[in-house]
Amino acid sequence: MKHLITVTFFILSAHISFSQIDTSKVKRTPTDTSKMQLNLDAVYNRPFLQYGKIPVAIGGYAEANTQYAVTDGVTEGFSFQMRRMTLFLSSSIHRKIKFLTEIEFEDGTKEINIEFAALDFQFHHLLNFRGGIIMNPIGAFNQNHDGPRWEFIDRPISATQLLPSTFSNVGFGFYGKVYKSNYVWAYELYLTNGLNDNIIGNAENKTFLPATKLNPDRFEESFNGEPLTSAKTTLRVRKIGELGLSYMGGVYNKFQEDGLILDKKRRADVVAVDFNTTIPKANTVITTEFAWTFVDVPDTYTQQFGKKQHGGFIDIVQPIIKKKMFGFEKASFNAAVRAEYVDWNVGTFKETGGNIADEIFAIVPAISFRTSPQTVIRLNYRYEWQKDLLGNPAARTGAIQFGVSSYF
């Protein structure tokens, strides 16, 4: 196993610094950089700092950027954004019991979320029990979303505005893996608190699964008493890549209250396919994900809210130079491009038979400079075409984004 243990700088908590703890005892928990890691492993496969033999490790990442965006010639000027700062804390309670939590501060302190806080019990490598606040494994991005891992400042539209990116819920479930010499297979199956009717009643004016995150009570109680089922199976074959198939579905509406029936049970179901690979020799990294959603929207509601949606993205990242640069030992300079598409309303108008649009297409060329695999400085140019429901001429947006992101 080839280890790439890279540390570019040390940041310790104020507590550690001011307590004058012997920093020589602070060690960085190595990330597993084997070629057989899965998106499933991303939550634990992060650089952590550990002090001595204390069974607690901390870590995190931050990302900040500036952007200048213009939509059809109109701009709000430059903005500087502190998109997020995320803190991880993990603990090995027992050789077979571990805990990890991830707390995210978005846009300063505008949003503070516990994205993950779960206990894992390993009974067998094929039978791990996980309970707490978990990330529903729909697609790959939801599990593997840390900013420093990506060459792009914006998260994929399909991951944030079709699927609810960093969608986490309270629940329980199982996961497991089988390793063989040339492949690894894994599964995940969880029952969690679920969706709510914000998905067809929101300020986005479209069927919008991420709006389900607006329910502040979702960590406390289920909106409708029906669990959300999330399942994923993944196969990684050495030298080929990782293929994931995932499903998430459940009832989203409040169909009864105080024992009284209000409506029939209405479901929202999502299916996603993800794939990633690295082309040998060229070291070109390809990451792609596509998702389809099916929502039982009442026929008597407005067609503004689609019953079917789909969308996805493909990222291609090509390392151009990998060597010591500017004093950084394992630096790399990369070129990348993302193409992404989402159709929030797949269908035709009842009145005219014409296509319902409500779609977006974007292309994002990028260059990045990595001082190490954990730290990236990136420059993106984004150009997108967004059509309204009726398919009127697309609003065109161009944006220059420059930012940094790093684990610490």
User: By the criterion CB under 8 A, which residues form the site for another protein?
Assistant: 68, 70-75, 197-198, 200-205, 253, 262-263, 266, 298, 300-304, 325-326, 349, 351-352, 354, 357, 379, 381, 383, 388-393, 396-398, 400, 402
d(CA 54, CA 330): 30
Cβ 70 to another protein shortest distance, Å: 4
Please, which residue, 79 or 302, has the CB nearer to another protein? 302
Report the nearest approach of another protein to the CB of residue 364 (Å).
13
CB of 357 to another protein, least distance (A): 7
Question: 140 vs 360, which CB is nearer to another protein?
Answer: 360
The encoded tokens of residue 185 equal 């297979």
**Nearer CB in complex with another protein: 28/267:** 267
Q: Are 124 and 351 in contact (CB under 8 A)?
A: no
Residue 360 vs 389, nearer CB to another protein: 389
Q: Which is nearer to another protein, 152 or 407 (CB)?
A: 152
Q: How far is the CB of 222 from another protein (least distance, A)?
A: 18
């952007």: which residue's tokens?
Answer: 67
- Report the alpha-carbon distance of residue 392 to residue 159 in Å, rounded: 25
CB of 309 to another protein, least distance (A): 18
**Closest of 336, 357, 340 to residue 348, by C-alpha:** 357
User: For residues 31 and 397, which CB has a smaller minimum distance to another protein in the complex?
Assistant: 397
CB of 46 to another protein, least distance (A): 29
328, 371 contact by CB (below 8 A):
yes
Question: 57 to each of 89, 131, 339, how far by Cα in Å?
Answer: 6, 20, 37
Rg (CA), the chain: 22
AA letter at 128: N
| Parallel, antiparallel or unpaired: strands 48-51 and 97-106 | unpaired
Burial class, 133, CB count within 10 angstroms (exposed 0-12 / middle 13-18 / buried 19+) = buried
**Other residues' Cβ atoms within 10 Å of the Cβ of residue 107:** 10
Note every long-range contact of 117-120, with CB atoms under 8 Å and residues 24 or more positions apart, other chains counting. Answer: 119/93
CA within 13 Å, CB half, 37 = 19
Cβ closest to another protein, residue 122 vs residue 304: 304
- CB 260 → another protein: shortest distance, Å? 11
